[in-house]
Amino acid sequence: MFFEIFSFLKKHPCKVYSAPFDVRFSRDPAYSKIDSVVQPDISVICDLSKLDDKGCFGAPDLVVEVLSPGNSRVELQNKYELYEEFGVREYWIVHPTDCTVLIYTLVEGKFVPSRLFTSGDVITSTVLPGFVLDLEGVFSQD
């Protein structure tokens, strides 16, 4: 998935990063205090002014989280709430065992879920117009 996004972005101004890559959030209007730091599995940032030598300050445009046995329901809920509050425009949750992807799109400040995509489906992104991802290739065992 990272490689597909990376390849697509070669012709675009956005940048993609994989963990470990810090994303810092602040509720302070002066940005003097960091409230939360997360490390999404994949982050796409189109506003390059958010990037510094410590990672990204503010919401990435697209975040991908890949579920693993170490992910807890609390962690997922906390990230969902953070990403929604701070304005992540698109949030993908990938379940590699079930071969599914759920996409949340930010609409008027609230996440709206997609249908559940699975192997054989093709997904697109509202954040990356023209990007197409065939989940058959993502979830294939080859």
Which residue range is the domain that position 40 belongs to?
A: 2-139
Mean pLDDT of the chain: 92
**What tens digit of pLDDT does each residue of 55-112 get?**
999 999 999 999 887 777 777 889 999 999 999 999 999 999 899 999 999 999 999 9
**What tens digit of pLDDT does each residue of 3-56 get?**
999 999 998 999 999 999 999 999 887 767 889 999 999 999 999 999 999 999
Q: What is the pLDDT of residue 71?
A: 72
Q: What's the CATH number where 101 sits? A: 3.90.1570.10
Q: What is the pLDDT of residue 142?
A: 58
Stated pTM of the model: 0.92
Number of domains in the chain: 1
Q: How far apart are CA 88 and CA 102, in angstroms?
A: 15
Which string of b and e fits 15-38 if b means at least 16 CB within 10 Å? bbbbbebbbbbeeeeeeeeeeeeb
